[in-house]
Structure 1
Amino acid sequence: MPRFSLIVPCFKVQGFLRECLDSVLAQSFNDFELIAVDDRSPDGCGAILDEYAERDPRVKVLHLPKNVGLGRARNAGMPHATGDYLLFLDSDDTLTPGALRAIADRLAEAGEPDVLVVDYARTYWWGGTRRNALAEVLAEAGPDTFTARTYPRILDLLMVVWNKVYRREFVASEGFAFPPGYYEDTPWTFPVLLSARRIAALDRICVNYRQRRQGSILSTTSRRHFDVHDQYERVFAFVEQRPELAHWRPYLHRKMGEHCLDILAKPDRLPPGDRAEFFRRTTRMFRAHAPEGALADGEVGLLEGSWTGYRIRRQAARIGQEAARRAEPVRDAAAARARSGWASLHAMRPLDPHLVVYSASSHRGMLGDPAAVYAKAREIAPQLRGVWVVRDAETAAGLPPGVEHVIVDSRRYLEVTARAKFFVNDVNWPGALAKRPGSVHIHTHQGTPLKYMGADLLDKPGARLGFDVPQMLRRADRWDYSLVANRHSELVWERAYPCHFTSLRTGSPRNDVLVNGGAGGFRQRRGIPETDTVVLYAPTRRDYRRTGHVDRIDLARFAADLGAGRTLVVRLHPSLANGPARGLGLAELARRGIVVDATDEPRVEEVLLAADALVTDYSGVMFDYANLDRPIVVHADDWDAYTASRGTYLDITAEPPGHVAHSYRELAWLFASGSWRDEESARLRAEFRARACEFDDGRAAERVVRTLLLGEAMPGAGIRLPGQGTGRDVLTSA
């Protein structure tokens, strides 16, 4: 008996079918059967299914004598299922890599629940991917099982069949089956979830839900949308037969009203002549099933009125929305004039020589090099007033107590930026910020560059998709000083940003803590034993994929292969933190304690200090980590694709900071054999450190404060500002 039975109904999907089948058959978990149902498809689906069945014994094909529709095609497959659990996969969707393994592990952990609800991502025809907007419902469900009554938020998720896994005996004992019709998932999903005694959640993207260019069948204009009424009648009938479910009637009553109004609100769903009839049928049903004492408030209150009243309300709403849209540019223009006037007023006042404005990572808080400079300024130059620019109130709430801040584009922001003498940032300031004569802009960057940046992206159209290089250079024209940690960075920045700034060989202020051996509380916060060897995996984004994310390593396998006494810590590239990357396994593995997810750690320096070894592909974090003189392994299994799409200034495989693995097998062997920290690794690292950490001596932040903010000379610093002494000149003008 297999663990899973996957039922895949097929009708007119020959262009997508192979991708669907391959996504199942290529799973690392093999204990399954695939029951493909040819719903009398008029295209080549039947032949494709037979081809797969001939070469793979896990595939069973049913050819139906006539077309019966999606729901009844699923029913046709169920009697042939022998697995412990049922999965229904639409034939134009796909399973994500590793999905079945993750599902099997979660079912075992949850003790064989009746239903397991999994996450999904919408994949668009133009290449975009967007995770389910309600993914937090699964994350907040926790590791224990529950019922719909104890965790009703589970019903907020999309009412579809394919984002759930069902215990076959539970389905058989309850007699669940799909009815015919257009909205067949509704009378299946509600009864299943309301009846299940044990439900579990898996916070992992297991299904890629394809969004076709011309939309799904439910988004086409047709009278078949009237089917929604029949399907909800089936739901109400089911509840009527189960007295223990009577308390769900108010919820289902409102849900039905909201669902029907949603169909009616979309102008492309119903033929114009049928809209009034749809509304009246909905109101009759709404009133017929209204629980005693139910209040039809909010949007569903429209169903208590007439079709004429509904149209008037909708028309008034549309008029209001259109008026608001027309007024918005006027309001924006007036607000812009007001902001400009306020900024101009303060720009008439003299610059404040003690005011320093800081920002990092597009106003995301006290981070990186600017944070290191700020901390050192507070220590050795208390007369300087440091003000941080943050993007919103939530970010401001995360600042340490006593840190002065302003929210970007606020009146206080305009006042402070108009008066400040010094500006410290690791990315460009917004274009609206005008540089006053006499102000000093210090650009710290975000580390040593490996991949192409700035003007060098002009020859890489894929990497600069949506990126305005000329605009970026206009903003970089405001830089007065560019901080570098090595001569490589100096040369790259001057080429990538052809602007009039002065390069300063200060070192990277954020690396002072690495050079000086600062302590971090990361291990203690995350419960990592002090005796464990911590291996940090820090992959970067890929420009040859629109989402930027590519799974290069099976994290669960890598964590297992590292063995006992070793903890795998994963930190994704910041640009991937809020996308689907974590939902493809990382979040679930972190919840189960297989890996530690450090993506959201605000101070990457603390993560680096906690790591005994770094595994990365092409992330610039390797240049910072080299200051610790600890082993680095480069995983370069797609180097050619990466360099072709993004472009790199160095061949990191020819001059690496440690051993290079060109496949996962090589990577696993390096750690199994101990070669990751052998003499050759140490030799490569020493040569790399000499190049990458050339100016990182632990005093970079002090150097910036004394020489740039205070205008002092700093003996032995290796910097000479214009007009300061006759020491060794290491400044270059770009």
Structure 2
Amino acid sequence: MPHLSVIVYGPNAQGHLTELLDSLEAHPLLDAEVIVAAVGDWARETAEGHAPETIVVPLPDGTGDAAARAAGAARASGRWLHFVRAEDGLPAGAPRLIAERTAELDATAAPDTPVDVLLFDHVTTTWQTAASPSRDGRFLAAVGRESLTLDQATDLLRLAPLLGNRALRADFWRAHEEQLTTDDEPHAAYAALLHAGRVACLNQAAYEKRVLRPESLPPRAPEDRLALIDRYESLLSLARDRRAARRVLYVLMVRDLLRTFAREDLPDPVAREFFRRASLAAVRWRPEGHQRPAGLEGVRHALLEEGAYTKYRAFQAANRTRRAARKTVRSRKRQLSAKVRDHQYRRALSRPIDPDLAVFAAYWDRGVACNPAAIAAKLAELAPHIHQVWTVSKENTALLPPGTDHVVPGTRRYWETLATAKYLTTNVNFPNAVVKRPEAIHLQTHHGTPLKRMGLDQRDHPAAAKGLDFAALLARIDRWDYSISANSHSTRMWERAYPARYTSLDYGYPRNDVFYTATAADVRAARERLGIAPGRTAVLYAPTHRDYEAGFTPRLDLAALADRLGENTVLLVRAHYFYGGAASPLTGLRRSGRIIDVSSYDPVEELCLASDALVTDYSSIMFDYANLDRPIVVYADDWETYRTTRGVYFDLMAEHPGQVARTQEELTEIFVSGAWRDENAAKARATFRRRFCEYDDGRAAERVVRRVFLGQPEEALPPVLPLEERTPAPTPEEATA
């Protein structure tokens, strides 16, 4: 009996079924079956041409989605069902993620309170874009890994109403099949939650919703919009006795009805009827004590409840006029401001270059940080006559070290400084408007070793590029004179991703110098500042951002991990975590010092020095941390999805810096068993260090300053020490010996 039945249903719309089945075939799962409820001959022929173990249920042309789902489910033998439209997709490894999470739920649930619905995140692909993240992650993250009733987590009703972003327990489906069998997919998705006894979440993207070009689909009759009102009235009736759920559904209903009325170009008779029926529904189902939103949205709600169609149309017209006027004013202000700025900048460009002026910037004007900070510190030591000015956003100026000369972007001095400085150093890029003067030197330091694809290599990964203007990017990199590299892998990737005539400086990353120059006293001081008690093992957890997610969402149950690792382990967490309030399971752990939030702690190099080991996923911090020759564990629970949506330069699963965990249980076992620092981990780390710590030896900043700022020839620079001759900073254990 398979654990998971993936039920693909519907016609082979625009040939997308082929892609879907190809992806399933490329990542087979032993404990899953694939059933294709194929609507029409093309879908049947496509399905029959794939893996022989695929179960094909042929259905005649015109079979509706509900009937196709039911036909596929009738053939399913899995304990869980995942319904996938034939035109949609599955990120690589998605069935594995779902199967593992549902198996975990089955193993931990009490027999009398099973989980009926598993919810997970999704990405959206349109005919124009690929793999755009949803906004569902925050709701999934808020639930964590505990199973709940819907009444305990009614915000889950705010998830995109797709059957594809939820898996249903087979017994639950059979018990409620009649109520869930409808061609209105959103209705079925909501109804599944309303009927479920308990629900659980998987905070990862395991579904790809494909939006076809509307002009390629059969037209919808204007009257079809009226079905939206029927959907919500039916759902509100179903939730009649569930006060919290009904409140959320009511808010969703009013929002969707108002949006449909405002955005759909309905004929006046249909629009009037839609508004009339929407008004009746808004009044009929309004919860007791419901408060309208403030501002213009509240006015819209009030007019809807009044049924004031004519007033609403007048209100719309007035708003359009007001928005147009404001847009015109804003546009004129921007144009005037740009003209003034351009005039000031052009005048400044006519002045002589100041040979003793250096501008530094890091992370989009965040402050003194990263490679630029390390270079600036060494420059102050070796060439104190060169005046340093940092570009820093207004909100970050208060965080600057005392006495730091700085300019705020957009100000007159900012443009004058950029126009006349001899040296411009950044780890990202200066604005497009910056002109490259022949006498000026632009130094690009970068801010990590590339695992993920960068620059021009993002063209095939729209979720990563997010509308990046590649022509503007090329214009920016054409300003570079020098590009710093930490290893030959980076040098090759930078030259490929950023093709221009700059000179590659294979000197190492200046920010990593501290990993060789720090003393035992520095390590002890770092731990004392963080409040890590002597003798405790400190594990730094530093995950990276996912381009397919709307924002950071936690991937580990830190409370459970801390509990398993014991009181002698401290977790340093460098990411915003979605636990809060007095009832948080992390509250006690924070008070005891077993979990320390270091999300805003700078510099990150100090966190590395203070820790005994690193847990990360695909963050470039692993390449820097490897200089310390301390244990690294890669937690790659969504490697296939990340590799597909973001694109990578090498297979981290084959060329990792230590141990690799694919589930939280595996991660816990690596630490409990001691495998995190065993011989196999040390061998993998040694290979990784040879490849990626090639030029880091503690003197990178000196080489950069002498070559770029002092103009010394290559042969006069300190040579890069061979790896075997380098001595990293002492470990915390060594520092207290």
How big is the shift at 1:510? 2.0
1:254 to 251, 255, 260: 251
Query: What is aligned with 2:186?
Result: 185
Could you say if the C-alpha distance between residues 356 and 674 of structure 1 is closer, same or farther in structure 2, counting changes exceeding 3 Å? same
Q: What is the rounded CA distance, in whole Å, between the counterparts of 2:472 and 2:36 in structure 1? A: 53
How big is the shift at 1:607? 8.2
Query: What is aligned with 1:663?
Result: none
Query: What is aligned with 1:317?
Result: 319
Structure 2 residue 255 is matched with structure 1 residue 263: no
Match of 2:359, SS state, is strand
Structure 2 residue 280 is matched with structure 1 residue 284: yes
1:133 to 117, 132, 135: 135
Tell me, yes or no, if the aligned pair for 1:110 and 1:200 is still in contact at 8 Å: no
Query: What is aligned with 2:209?
Result: 209
Structure 2 residue 42 is matched with structure 1 residue 44: yes
Per-residue CA deviation, residues 10-39 of structure 1 (Å, 9 max, x unaligned), is 23538233443455566554334555445x
Q: What is the rounded CA distance, in whole Å, between the counterparts of 2:220 and 2:371 in structure 1? A: 53
Q: What is the rounded CA distance, in whole Å, between the counterparts of 1:215 and 1:611 in structure 2? A: 58
Query: What is aligned with 2:239?
Result: 239
Per-residue CA deviation, residues 478-517 of structure 1 (Å, 9 max, x unaligned), is 667666779999999999887698x878654223123335
Structure 2 residue 92 is matched with structure 1 residue 93: no
Q: What is the rounded CA distance, in whole Å, between the counterparts of 1:61 and 1:524 in structure 2? A: 64
Query: What is aligned with 1:541?
Result: none
Q: How do 1:606-645 and structure 2 match up within 5 A?
A: none
How big is the shift at 1:386? 5.0
Per-residue CA deviation, residues 56-92 of structure 1 (Å, 9 max, x unaligned), is 4xx363747x856223443455555554333322222
Q: How do 1:11-410 and structure 2 match up within 5 A?
A: 11=11, 13=13, 15-21=15-21, 23-24=23-24, 29-38=29-38, 41-49=39-47, 55-56=53-54, 59=55, 61=57, 63=59, 67=62, 69-78=64-73, 81-95=76-90, 96=94, 98-105=97-104, 108=107, 112-126=114-128, 128-171=130-173, 177-178=179-180, 180=182, 183-186=184-187, 188-214=188-214, 220=220, 222-240=222-240, 242=241, 245-246=242-243, 248-267=245-264, 270=266, 274-291=270-287, 294=290, 297-303=298-304, 304-340=306-342, 356-376=358-378, 386-390=388-392, 393=395, 407-410=408-411
Per-residue CA deviation, residues 134-179 of structure 1 (Å, 9 max, x unaligned), is 3222122222233333333222211222212233444555676236
Query: What's the TM-score, normalizing by structure 2?
Result: 0.66
Match of 1:430, SS state, is coil
Superposed CA RMSD in Å reads: 6.0
Q: What is the rounded CA distance, in whole Å, between the counterparts of 2:64 and 2:363 in structure 1? A: 51
- Kindly, what percent of the aligned residue pairs are identical? 31
How big is the shift at 1:438? 7.8
Could you say if the C-alpha distance between residues 376 and 106 of structure 1 is closer, same or farther in structure 2, counting changes exceeding 3 Å? farther
Query: What is aligned with 2:594?
Result: none
Could you say if the C-alpha distance between residues 73 and 616 of structure 1 is closer, same or farther in structure 2, counting changes exceeding 3 Å? closer
Match of 1:88, as an amino acid?
F
Per-residue CA deviation, residues 628-670 of structure 1 (Å, 9 max, x unaligned), is 679999xxxx9xx99xx9999xxxxxxx9999xxxxxxxxxxx
Q: What is the rounded CA distance, in whole Å, between the counterparts of 1:451 and 1:201 in structure 2? A: 27
How big is the shift at 1:202? 0.9
Q: What is the rounded CA distance, in whole Å, between the counterparts of 1:204 and 1:138 in structure 2? A: 9
Tell me, yes or no, if the aligned pair for 1:14 and 1:43 is still in contact at 8 Å: no
How big is the shift at 1:442? 4.3
Query: What's the TM-score, normalizing by structure 1?
Result: 0.66
How big is the shift at 1:104? 3.1
Query: What is aligned with 1:720?
Result: 712
Could you say if the C-alpha distance between residues 34 and 482 of structure 1 is closer, same or farther in structure 2, counting changes exceeding 3 Å? closer
Tell me, yes or no, if the aligned pair for 2:426 and 2:446 is still in contact at 8 Å: yes
Tell me, yes or no, if the aligned pair for 1:107 and 1:116 is still in contact at 8 Å: no
Match of 1:369, as an amino acid?
N
Match of 2:43, as an amino acid?
C
Tell me, yes or no, if the aligned pair for 1:370 and 1:424 is still in contact at 8 Å: yes
2:548 to 571, 579, 582: 579
Tell me, yes or no, if the aligned pair for 1:27 and 1:100 is still in contact at 8 Å: no
Match of 1:177, SS state, is helix
Moved more, 81-90 or 467-476: 467-476
Match of 2:124, as an amino acid?
R
Could you say if the C-alpha distance between residues 22 and 510 of structure 1 is closer, same or farther in structure 2, counting changes exceeding 3 Å? same
Match of 1:128, SS state, is coil
| Larger relative contact order (CA 8 Å, sep ≥ 6) | 2
Moved more, 364-373 or 602-611: 602-611
Q: What is the rounded CA distance, in whole Å, between the counterparts of 2:454 and 2:713 in structure 1? A: 27
Match of 1:330, SS state, is helix
Q: What is the rounded CA distance, in whole Å, between the counterparts of 2:185 and 2:513 in structure 1? A: 62
Q: What is the rounded CA distance, in whole Å, between the counterparts of 1:172 and 1:328 in structure 2? A: 58
Query: What is aligned with 1:538?
Result: none
Moved more, 303-312 or 287-296: 287-296
How big is the shift at 1:425? 1.7
Per-residue CA deviation, residues 550-571 of structure 1 (Å, 9 max, x unaligned), is xxxxxxxxxxxxxxxxx9x886
Tell me, yes or no, if the aligned pair for 1:202 and 1:588 is still in contact at 8 Å: no
Q: What is the rounded CA distance, in whole Å, between the counterparts of 2:70 and 2:474 in structure 1? A: 61
The aligned length equals: 640
Query: What is aligned with 1:651?
Result: none
Q: Structure 1 stretches of 5 or more lacking a match?
A: 535-566, 649-655, 660-670, 712-718
Could you say if the C-alpha distance between residues 407 and 147 of structure 1 is closer, same or farther in structure 2, counting changes exceeding 3 Å? farther
Per-residue CA deviation, residues 382-407 of structure 1 (Å, 9 max, x unaligned), is 898755434674x6687778867555
Q: What is the rounded CA distance, in whole Å, between the counterparts of 1:80 and 1:430 in structure 2? A: 59
Q: What is the rounded CA distance, in whole Å, between the counterparts of 1:51 and 1:357 in structure 2? A: 62
How big is the shift at 1:470? 7.7
Tell me, yes or no, if the aligned pair for 1:106 and 1:202 is still in contact at 8 Å: no
Q: What is the rounded CA distance, in whole Å, between the counterparts of 1:484 and 1:68 in structure 2? A: 59
Q: Structure 2 stretches of 5 or more lacking a match?
A: 293-297, 566-570, 577-598, 634-639, 659-675, 720-737
Tell me, yes or no, if the aligned pair for 2:363 and 2:427 is still in contact at 8 Å: yes
How big is the shift at 1:212? 1.8
Per-residue CA deviation, residues 353-377 of structure 1 (Å, 9 max, x unaligned), is 8865321244455443102123446
Q: What is the rounded CA distance, in whole Å, between the counterparts of 1:225 and 1:382 in structure 2? A: 71
Tell me, yes or no, if the aligned pair for 1:5 and 1:83 is still in contact at 8 Å: yes
Q: What is the rounded CA distance, in whole Å, between the counterparts of 2:690 and 2:345 in structure 1? A: 50
Could you say if the C-alpha distance between residues 582 and 30 of structure 1 is closer, same or farther in structure 2, counting changes exceeding 3 Å? farther
Could you say if the C-alpha distance between residues 498 and 323 of structure 1 is closer, same or farther in structure 2, counting changes exceeding 3 Å? same
How big is the shift at 1:120? 0.7
Match of 1:357, SS state, is strand
Tell me, yes or no, if the aligned pair for 2:392 and 2:408 is still in contact at 8 Å: yes
Could you say if the C-alpha distance between residues 470 and 721 of structure 1 is closer, same or farther in structure 2, counting changes exceeding 3 Å? farther
Q: How do 1:404-483 and structure 2 match up within 5 A?
A: 407-410=408-411, 413-414=414-415, 417=418, 422-434=423-435, 441-445=442-446, 475=476
Tell me, yes or no, if the aligned pair for 2:487 and 2:691 is still in contact at 8 Å: no
